[in-house]
Amino acid sequence: MKQFVFISGKGGTGKSTVVASLAKYVNNKALADVDVDAPNLHILLDHEVVEKIPFKGAKIAKIDQSKCTNCHKGYEVCRFDAISKDDIINPLKCEGCGACLLVCPENAITLHDELTGHVYQSKINEEHFTHALLAVGAEGSGKLVAEVKKKVKELVKEEDYLLIDGSPGIGCVVIASITGADACVIVTEATKSGLSDLQRVQQVADHFGIKSFVCINKYDLNIDVTKKIEEYCKNKNVSVIGKIPFEPLIVKALQQFKTPMDDDKLGHIKSEIISLWNQLIKET
């Protein structure tokens, strides 16, 4: 089974629209959404949630106030400003490192598993679709990403492909998303921000040894920037496998919960997405 991860560097360039479109076109595959902070793929895909699994991906310290003698040793060692001078723990600041309990002379502090989100096992007809939602403001988003990938792999058997909708950025969530993938597709846009962000995320993919491909969305919005993106890709030996024009009708389709694949007015976008897929398959 080949695993393809769709990332972007910059947010809002069209990752989920491309993945949802491919979900309607590609046969014999499984799907995953690892944008755990702000997952969107499920919105466009008619799915049925089979199981909702709680995920404890972080720890949090708790003080037993009946044992606490207010010696402030925990407060002194905490580097996250999570323990106040009167020995109260702020759960949003606590990283669960356990330094405080190592110095507590009364054994009044313990670490507890913290619910950091849920994984959803869903089905689209007979196909597997695994997604997740991080608890608001939670730590450990990278761990939840790894959990989604683990869960979908437990289910798949004979599928040819796993398509993974990723998240913006270049940090822990993105690194966890691309680990182990056969290739990543970077969906960018013809803006200066899109170019700058593409360069950063493409170098991260390179560093972790993941082959990257590029799709330029809104390529005709700024032909100069598109040329610069193509130049950059050529230098880095990265194939540009798709160019999608600026098309307000895509937004109108999304507003009606439709992908470009389900809209008669968007035949030109549909053929571009099919050609992107064929190119990806040919080159991997």
Q: Please report, as ranges, the residues that interact with another protein according to CB under 8 A.
A: 8-13, 16, 36-38, 40, 43-44, 59, 77, 79-80, 92, 95-99, 102-103, 111, 134, 136-139, 141-142, 167-175, 189-194, 196-197, 200-201, 203-204, 207-208, 218, 221-222, 225, 246, 248, 251-252, 254-255, 257
Query: Counting Cβ atoms within 10 Å, is residue 104 exposed (0-12), middle (13-18) or buried (19+)?
Result: buried
CB nearer to another protein: pick between 130 and 188: 188
Q: Strands 183-189 and 127-134, how do they pair? A: unpaired
Nearer CB in complex with another protein: 13/161: 13
Give the number of residues written for the chain.
284
CB nearer to another protein: pick between 32 and 133 = 133
Cα–Cα distance measured from residue 166 to residue 139, given in angstroms and rounded to the nearest whole number: 18
Smallest separation, CB 114 to another protein (Å): 11
Contacts of residue 258, defined as CB under 8 A and 6 or more positions apart, other chains included, come to 44
CB of 212 to another protein, least distance (A): 14
- Considering the complex, state which of residue 25 and residue 208 has its C-beta at the smaller distance from another protein: 208
**What's the min distance (Å) between Cβ of 101 and another protein?**
9
Q: What does the buried/exposed string (b/e) look like for 182-200 if buried means 16 or more CB atoms within 10 Å of the residue's CB? A: ebbbbbbbbbeebbebbbe
7, 186 Cβ separation under 8 angstroms? yes
Q: Cβ of residue 234: shortest distance to another protein, in angstroms?
A: 21
Residue (71 or 156) nearer to another protein, CB = 71
> Measured between alpha carbons, how far is 268 from 33 in angstroms, rounded to an integer?
26
Q: Shortest gap between Cβ of 28 and another protein (angstroms)? A: 27
